[in-house]
Structure 1
Amino acid sequence: MAFEGLTERLQNAMRKLRGKGKVSESDLRETMREIRLALLEADVNFTVVKDFVKQVRDRAMGADVLEGLNPAQQIVKIVDEELTKTMGEEAVPLNKSDKIPTIIMMVGLQGAGKTTTAGKLARKLKEEENARPLMIAGDIYRPAAIEQLVQVAQGIDVPVFQLGTDVDPVEIVRQGLAQAEADHNDYIIIDTAGRLQIDEQLMDELAKIKALAHPDEILLTVDAMTGQNAVATAEGFNDKLDVTGVVLTKLDGDTRGGAALSIRAVTGKPIKFIGQGEKMSDLDVFHPDRMASRILGMGDMLSLIEKTQKEYDEKQAQELTEKIQENSFDFNDFLDQIAQIQKMGPMDEIMKMIPGMANNPALKNAQMDPKDMEHLKAVVYSMTPQERTNPDLLNPSRRRRIAAGSGRPIHEVNRMIKQFNQMKKMMNQVSKGNMSGMEQMMGGSGMGGMGGGAGMGRMQKMAMNRMSRQMKKNKKKRLKSKKKRRK
């Protein structure tokens, strides 16, 4: 994740406040200095940092904070709220036309991931809205750009309109729009040319395409790894084209993440999507509040729940819940869970969505090698059907046989069985509403986060509270939506 360094610095700054019955102005001043340095090192725009620190300091200076109960917790809450505000408060949906088709124009510099993002967006619309998108290949300059778009489109079964590299891009878009009208496509995604840097020729061509197509959405694709240059790029494109939104790519790379904190504040344009992986499914709606939680090490349980829901149907979820409640969760179910987790993405990224796990020492030192999952599966596959359904049968002689069969050392087999039993116990406690048992286990395993080892820390509790509020809000929205449909 892009914010690992920033998360660690901010957590260290907040940790110094922990345990203080009262926070003095000098304590606050030192914390603000640490936060300012952390943001600047993360390549956040200087003006944005200056405004952010001033807002936090002004709010935190109030007597109800410094002299109130749990002042450190209140300051963390203020930082969380100001981070969210800086990135745009709420998720901003796609601009959609009142009549079909909705036209989306993808723009950006060469190498930012524009063509791949166009494919990811087409897949998202197709999967989530049952839409029929058409992609138009408007980049005739970059070698193999059209071929890349065609390959991307074939992988997601979406049509591409293209006329090769010898036709003017404006004419390609003109004919592509006519084709979409004839085929009744409800979305048109125009993949335009990029350059290594902004130039007049590129901007003139994009302006002509905009004048012809009248796009409902102009999405600027920005590489998060370019740091401050990402903000300069966003300003350049916005000045010429008046973009409607930003897609931030490569947030899973080795980047400091400052672009995400700067773009909205500098350009006034919302980040609508973020790309965090190579798979076509790795395009997520940008939620400022969830990103703020992740930056502060509070996790992102809502996104984790949404990822899980995509892989599970209601029947599977109900069956799993019943097994957990009956305490009959076995190694066959364990195999199913591993398969689901592997579909959701890299294990270390998933773990960081759990409150208190981002930059957790135990997690940082753990080796999140994808091969580890395969080793776990090999151990389970070496069990007999009876052993999988009844783990209590696994005595020392059986474990030695399983170790030999799976090619794994006996201590690894013992550790895996122990972890399985701990996980089973925790899942059973959570299903019965026994959170104190889970808190003890989290505290005892180094997962106490900002709150130390004794139970869930402040950060985890804040994250859980936020998740609870958001889930209630989502439930109300679903009920309203159902009532509208009935009418």
Structure 2
Amino acid sequence: MFDNLSERLERSFKILKGEGKITEINVAETLKDVRKALLDADVNYKVAKTFTDTVKEKAMGQNVLTAVKPSQLMVKIVHDELTQLMGGETVDVNLKGAPAVILMSGLQGSGKTTFSGKLAKMLKSKRGKNPMLVACDVYRPAAIEQLRVLGEQIGVPVYSEIDSKDPVKIAQNAIKEAKSKGHDLVIVDTAGRLAIDELMMNEIAAIKDAINPEEILFVVDSMTGQDAVNTAKEFNDRLDFNGVVLTKLDGDTRGGAALSIRSVVNKPIKFVGTGEKMEAIDQFHPSRMADRILGMGDIVSLVERAQEQYDEEEAKRLQKRISKNQFDFNDFLSQIAQIKKMGNLKDLASMIPGVGKAIKDIDIDDNAFKSIEAIIYSMTPQERSNPEVINGSRRARIAKGSGTNIQEVNRLMKQFDQTRKMMKMVTSSKMGKMMPKMKR
């Protein structure tokens, strides 16, 4: 995500490294490079120029403290301005209404249907909502089936009318159905349309007028760059949408849409799609995104993702087993499953400050755990529960059954043993600290 832009900006700041103070000459040189980096990332020219002009004005007005190097100060100013450029504050989705109605809009192929499912799952699990999905794409035969499959996957009902070709009527009937069945959220998936297609634009405007949604989201493929911004303007002129959703932000995107769209349409980015999995959706936080663009990581989002998968009862059970030295391969498997639920592994690693740059050219496959899981699944129930019984002949059998080799099995056994010892030490030290408090 934004790898090329991050690298270019880092190079730009190096111009100021070793400089004793900020001057008009070295600032101009740095910002010329920053502006080029933004333009190469497909940021709107006017937006890039305004941005660098504002940064220059702020940089020249600063008295650099002796403790702060000019390059550090410039990074701070650019970070603050990037945050403002992307909206400044996090803007939540409007869920008022009985039911709250969210209308999805966007181009063909932007990922509206998949995102509708992701949003329903997120609002169901995180906000306790009882959503219903509505299939209003009457033109693409596979669209209704796609939404139905997604609905089954996430446990959310899908309203559709196979014989109807009137999306306005379908949307109205769906809201009546939602009210009668106690759903407090309705997400209406519509057909992809081109901004130049007057008939289709009139149709989505008619759906909006008929159902009066609390929220209209414009879904855009972030990989389309500057074209996405121009299309957003066309849609906003017709629909006056409430917010933007950027999909496919995990791809090789140059980032221009994320950095330009807020300035051009004056509407906040509310969500981003970061992968194909149904969990791969994040609320958009401008400050955190600025952190990531400048290579500072995003620890807050990483912790939030971990907390979403955190099960308090499971954690207590696990702690008890670790303290008794009973942590086994079944527990190890459940920990792997929790990590996998958190999302794309490379994306997770890049949230740790400094790691994103280090792993930029390393391909971290989502199947990174595949061989480990294969080895564990090739063990007998007794071997998983009692790793101590796994001797040389058992290891050879496990290697053969998992399609790996004896070295990989030995490596996993060694890593598992080290993990168990480390977890025991951490748990014991925590217990030791708690004991004096308990005695009091």
TM-score clears 0.5 = yes
CA RMSD of aligned residues (A): 3.5
Q: CA deviation at 1:381?
A: 6.7
1:32 aligns with 2:34: no
- In structure 1, C-alpha distance between the alignment counterparts of 2:271 and 2:20, rounded to whole Å: 41
Name the SS for the 2:102 alignment partner: strand
1:101 aligns with 2:99: yes
- In structure 2, C-alpha distance between the alignment counterparts of 1:167 and 1:381, rounded to whole Å: 49
Q: Which residues in structure 2 correspond to 1:13-162 (within 5 Å)?
A: 13-65=12-64, 69-97=68-96, 99-162=97-160
Q: TM-score scaled by structure 1? A: 0.77
Q: CA deviation at 1:263?
A: 0.8
Name the SS for the 1:254 alignment partner: coil
Q: CA deviation at 1:408?
A: 3.0
- Could you give the per-residue CA deviations for residues 74-110 of structure 1, whole angstroms, max 9, x where no partner exists? 221111111111111121111132x411111111111
Contact 1:22/1:67, CA 8 A, preserved across alignment: no
Contact 1:375/1:408, CA 8 A, preserved across alignment: no
Contact 1:221/1:247, CA 8 A, preserved across alignment: yes
Q: TM-score scaled by structure 2? A: 0.84
- Could you give the per-residue CA deviations for residues 148-198 of structure 1, whole angstroms, max 9, x where no partner exists? 222222222222222225432222222222222222321111122222443
The AA in structure 2 aligned to 1:104 is: I
Q: Which residues in structure 2 correspond to 1:355-366 (within 5 Å)?
A: 355-360=353-358, 363-366=359-362
1:368 aligns with 2:364: yes
- In structure 2, C-alpha distance between the alignment counterparts of 1:23 and 1:422, rounded to whole Å: 49
Q: 1:331 to 1:38 in 2, by over 3 A?
A: farther
- In structure 2, C-alpha distance between the alignment counterparts of 1:304 and 1:58, rounded to whole Å: 34
- In structure 2, C-alpha distance between the alignment counterparts of 1:353 and 1:127, rounded to whole Å: 23
- In structure 2, C-alpha distance between the alignment counterparts of 1:396 and 1:134, rounded to whole Å: 55
Q: CA deviation at 1:378?
A: 4.8
Name the SS for the 2:16 alignment partner: coil
Name the SS for the 1:64 alignment partner: coil
Q: CA deviation at 1:43?
A: 0.7
Partner of 1:271: 269
- In structure 2, C-alpha distance between the alignment counterparts of 1:348 and 1:414, rounded to whole Å: 23
Name the SS for the 2:132 alignment partner: strand
Partner of 2:9: 10
Partner of 2:434: none
- In structure 1, C-alpha distance between the alignment counterparts of 2:235 and 2:39, rounded to whole Å: 24
Contact 1:324/1:424, CA 8 A, preserved across alignment: no
Q: CA deviation at 1:359?
A: 2.0
The count of residues paired between Structure 1 and Structure 2 equals: 428
The AA in structure 1 aligned to 2:286 is: P
Aligned with residue 336 of structure 2, among 319, 338, 350: 338
The AA in structure 2 aligned to 1:53 is: T
Partner of 1:187: 185
Q: 1:397 to 1:213 in 2, by over 3 A?
A: closer
- In structure 2, C-alpha distance between the alignment counterparts of 1:10 and 1:427, rounded to whole Å: 43
The AA in structure 2 aligned to 1:288 is: P
The AA in structure 2 aligned to 1:159 is: P
Aligned with residue 410 of structure 1, among 407, 411, 427: 407
Q: CA deviation at 1:329?
A: 7.6
- Give the gaps of 5 or more residues in structure 2: 431-440
Name the SS for the 1:243 alignment partner: coil
Calculate percent identity across the aligned residue pairs. Answer: 50
- In structure 2, C-alpha distance between the alignment counterparts of 1:287 and 1:274, rounded to whole Å: 10
The AA in structure 1 aligned to 2:83 is: T
The AA in structure 1 aligned to 2:305 is: K
Q: CA deviation at 1:230?
A: 0.7
Q: 1:387 to 1:115 in 2, by over 3 A?
A: closer
The AA in structure 2 aligned to 1:408 is: N
The AA in structure 2 aligned to 1:44 is: V
Name the SS for the 2:162 alignment partner: coil
Contact 1:379/1:408, CA 8 A, preserved across alignment: no
- In structure 1, C-alpha distance between the alignment counterparts of 2:177 and 2:327, rounded to whole Å: 53
Mean Cα deviation higher: 254-263 or 172-181 = 172-181
Q: 1:373 to 1:411 in 2, by over 3 A?
A: closer
- Give the gaps of 5 or more residues in structure 1: 434-487
